[in-house]
A and B are shown apart, each in its own frame.
Chain A
Amino acid sequence: MTTTTAPSRAPSAAPPLRRMHLAAHFPGVNNTTVWTDARAASQIDFASFEHLARTAERGRFDFFFLAEGLRLREHKGRIHDLDVMGRPEAITVLSALAAVTDRLGLAATVSATFNEPYELARRLASLDHLSGGRAAWNVVTTSDAFTGENFRRGGFLDRADRYVRAAEFVATTRALWDSWPTGGTARPVAHQGPHFSVRGEFTLPRSPQGHPVIIQAGDSAEGRDFAAATADVVFTRHSTLEAGQEFYADVKARLAVHGRDADSLKIMPGVTFVLGDTAADAQERAATIRRQQVSPQNALVALEQVWGVDLSAYDPDGPLPDFDPDPDSQLAQGRVRIGDPKAVADRWRALSEAKGLSIRETVIETTGRQSFVGTPAAVAEEMAAFVAGRAADGFILIPHLTPDGLDGFVDRVVPLLQERGVLRTEYEGATLRSHLGLPEPVRPAGKG
Chain B
Amino acid sequence: MPASPCALRPLHLAFALDGPARRARRGPQAYDPEHYVRLARLAERGTLDFVTLGDSFARPGPDALAVLARVAPATGRVGLVPAVTTTHTEPFHVSTAVNTLDWVSRGRAGWTVEVSRSRAEARLFGRRDAAPADALWREAGEVADVAARLWDSWEDDAEIRDAATGRFVDRDKLHHVDFRGSSFSVRGPAITPRPPQGRPVVVVDASARAAREVAAAHADVALVRAEDPATAGDARADLRERTRALGRDPDRLRVLVSLPVELYCSGDAVGLADLIGDWHADGVSDGFHLRPADPERDLARLVDGTVPVLQHRCLLRRFYPGATLREHLGLPRPANRYAAARKVAP
Contacts and interface: CB of A to CB of B under 8 A. Distances in A.
Do the two chains belong together in a single complex? yes
Contact of A198 (B103, B126, B167, B170): B126
B40 to A, nearest CB: 11
Interface of B: 31, 33, 37, 57, 59-63, 65-67, 69-74, 88-93, 96-97, 99-101, 103-106, 120-121, 123-127, 154, 159, 161, 163, 165-171, 174, 183-189, 191-193
B57 A79 contact: no
Contacts of A298: 166
A107 to B, nearest CB: 15
Given A116-B127, A118-B57, A197-B126, 18 more contacts: A79-B169, A81-B167, A81-B168, A85-B169, A86-B192, A92-B65, A96-B70, A96-B104, A98-B33, A98-B70, A99-B74, A100-B73, A122-B63, A199-B126, A200-B124, A203-B62, A295-B166, A297-B166
Contact of A150 (B37, B121, B187): B187
Contacts of A122: 57, 62-63
Contacts of B174: 72, 79
A186 B183 contact: no
A46 B101 CA distance: 10
A408 B159 CA distance: 28
A35 interface: yes
A287 interface: no
**CB-CB nearest 3 A-B residue pairs:** A197-B126, A297-B166, A95-B69
Given A70-B191, A88-B104, A88-B192, A127 B73 contact: no
Nearest to B64: A126
Contacts of A115: 90, 93
Contact of A84 (B63, B100, B104, B168): B168
B126 A46 contact: no
A205 interface: yes
The secondary-structure label for the interface of chain A is loop
Contacts of B101: 92
A314 B87 CA distance: 50
5 contacts: A36-B161, A119-B88, A126-B62, A204-B60, A205-B31
Contacts of A186: 60
B67 A152 contact: no
A35 B189 contact: no
A198 B125 contact: yes
A89 interface: yes
Contacts of B163: 36
Nearest to B85: A119
Contact of B73 (A99, A200, A203): A99
Interface of A: 35-36, 44-46, 50, 69-72, 78-79, 81-89, 91-93, 95-96, 98-100, 114-116, 118-119, 122-123, 125-127, 129-130, 149-154, 186, 196-200, 203-205, 295-298
Nearest to A195: B126
Contacts of A196: 126
Given A79-B189, A89-B97, A123-B66, A99 B168 contact: no
Contacts of A127: 66
B168 A85 contact: yes
A99 B89 CA distance: 26
Contacts of A98: 33, 70
A200 B119 CA distance: 10
A124 B164 CA distance: 42
Contacts of A50: 73
A82 B166 contact: yes
Contact of B61 (A91, A151, A203): A203
Nearest to B55: A203
Residue in A93, A151, A196, A198 with the greatest tally of chain B CB atoms within 10 Å: A151
B66 to A, nearest CB: 4
A116 B88 contact: yes
B168 A70 contact: no
B124 A199 contact: yes
B193 A150 contact: no
Contacts of A150: 92, 186-188
A230 to B, nearest CB: 22
Given A70-B92, A203-B62, A152 B191 contact: no
Contact of B66 (A81, A126, A154, A197): A126
B33 A130 contact: yes
A125 B154 CA distance: 31
A115 B94 CA distance: 12
A44 B123 CA distance: 37
B87 to A, nearest CB: 11
A82 B70 contact: no
B65 to A, nearest CB: 7
B168 A72 contact: no
Contacts of B171: 78-79, 81
A196 B124 CA distance: 10
A409 B149 CA distance: 41
Nearest to B164: A36
Nearest to B159: A86
Contacts of A72: 174, 189, 191
Contact of A35 (B165, B168, B170, B192): B168
Nearest to A208: B31
Nearest to A300: B166
A46 B125 CA distance: 32
Nearest to B176: A79
Contacts of B161: 35-36
A129 B72 contact: no
A71 B103 CA distance: 19
Given A86-B159, A126-B63, A205-B31, A152 B120 contact: no
